[in-house]
Amino acid sequence: MAEAPPSPFLGVAGGESFVLGRIAQSLDGRIATPSGASRWIGGAEDLDHTHRLRASADAVLVGAATVAADDPRLTTRRVAGPSPVRVVLDPRRRLGTGFHVFQDGGPTLLCAAADGIAGDAHHGKAVVLAVPCRGGVFDLHALRDQLALRGLRRILVEGGGVTLSRFLAAGLLDRLHVTLAPLLLGDGIPAFALPPAATPAEAQRLAWTVHPLGGDLLLDIVFGTSAR
Ligand SMILES: NC(=O)c1ccc[n+]([C@@H]2O[C@H](COP(=O)([O-])OP(=O)(O)OC[C@H]3O[C@@H](n4cnc5c(N)ncnc54)[C@H](OP(=O)(O)O)[C@@H]3O)[C@@H](O)[C@H]2O)c1
């Protein structure tokens, strides 16, 4: 079991929400193959890092496609520490109730559109949270506030690419940890799905700190800091 690490969540002012995005991508920008296979893009140290982040988070959040593809547990297992509350974004409630996060009894919130589709108060053993939704897209600011009301302020967004990109586009990411693995998948599910920039000069340019992570690189991006 890996040692307890310094947490990127430490130092967050009490009462404020903090959203950390997390993804592991291949050198050619993919987080999974075309069939959705993503185990594993990064190495063992990358997995350890993810579990450290979970141990420091109040909530770990993923999109419906990640649950459908991976059936993840989203618990803290590779390091010592508590498991976060699982939050699944499934506006249309297209996921069945048989997935681990809905059956293993650990705390889970299933976020569904608050327009009548929310339906039952439970989904398997998970609690259904009705979230304002327009055109099938959640109001992520409202969701962040709903989670804060439940005491869930340190939020780890663990993917996939669509989910992470929507948080990024909404300006809700405070920090982003991207693992870059020396792997070429050729095709597959992209890490980011954002509106295109007309030219590099018009693109959002970020500042990062780069750390070796086993055979991979960890790109640590803090939003709100200036880039070159
Ligand atoms: N390499 C990695 O680090 C990593 C991490 C996680 C997942 N993955 C892989 O990534 C793949 C899935 O990624 P993905 O980008 O295709 O999908 P995803 O982000 O897992 O899920 C996207 C879906 O979640 C729902 N959703 C997400 N954000 C929403 C919002 N703001 N409002 C409303 N609904 C929202 C939508 O469901 P609806 O379609 O029902 O509208 C959306 O289509 C899987 O193959 C998984 O294995 C890799």
pLDDT digits (tens, 9 = 90+) for 58-115: 999 999 999 999 999 999 999 999 999 999 999 999 999 999 999 999 999 999 999 8
Quote the DSSP letter at residue 147. H
* Residue 13 covered by a domain: no
Tell me whether strands 189-190 and 30-32 are parallel, antiparallel or unpaired.
antiparallel
* Inter-residue contact 90 to 137 (CB < 8 Å): no
**pLDDT of 147:** 98
Q: How far is the CA of 6 from the centre of ligand 1 (A)?
A: 28
Does any domain span residue 185?
yes
The overall pTM is greater than 0.85: yes
Handedness of CA 92, 37, 72, 46 (dihedral sign): negative
**Nearest-CA residue for atom 31 of ligand 1:** 138
Which protein residue has the closest C-alpha to ligand 1 atom 13? 160
pLDDT in tens, 60-76: 999 999 999 999 999 99
Residue type, 204: Q
Instruction: Give the pLDDT confidence score for residue 18 in this predicted structure.
Output: 96
In a domain, 215, yes or no: yes
The answer as to whether 3 is a domain residue is no
Specify if 218 maps to a domain: yes
User: What's the confidence (pLDDT) of residue 180?
Assistant: 98
For atom 21 of ligand 1, the residue with the nearest CA is 63
Tokens describing residue 10: 């430490």
Q: What pLDDT is attached to residue 140? A: 98
- Would you call 141 helix, strand, or coil by DSSP? helix
CB 173 within 8 A of CB 157: yes
What's the total number of domains in the chain? 1
**How far apart are the C-alpha atoms of 162 and 155, rounded to whole Å?**
17
Enclosing H/E stretch for 134 = strand 133-134
Per-residue pLDDT of the chain (228 residues; tens, 9 = 90+): 555 445 666 556 667 999 999 999 999 999 999 999 999 999 999 999 999 999 999 999 999 999 999 999 999 999 999 999 999 999 999 999 999 999 999 999 999 999 866 568 999 999 999 999 999 999 999 999 999 999 999 999 999 999 999 999 999 999 999 999 999 999 999 999 999 999 999 999 999 999 999 999 999 999 985 444
- CATH number, domain at 66? 3.40.430.10
Cα angle value 90/94/95 (rounded, 5°): 80
Rounded to whole angstroms, the Cα distance separating 168 from 180 reads: 18
- Would 7 be classed as within a structural domain? no
Q: What is the pLDDT of residue 49?
A: 97
Of 35, 38, 66, the residue with max ligand 1 atoms within 8 A of its CB, to mutate for a pocket test, comes to 66
- Domain membership of residue 6 (yes or no) is no
Most informative mutation of 38, 47, 213 for ligand 1 (most atoms within 8 A of CB) = 38
Domain that holds residue 72: 18-194+204-222
Integer Cα distance of 185 and 41 in angstroms: 9
Residues β-bridged to residue 211: 218
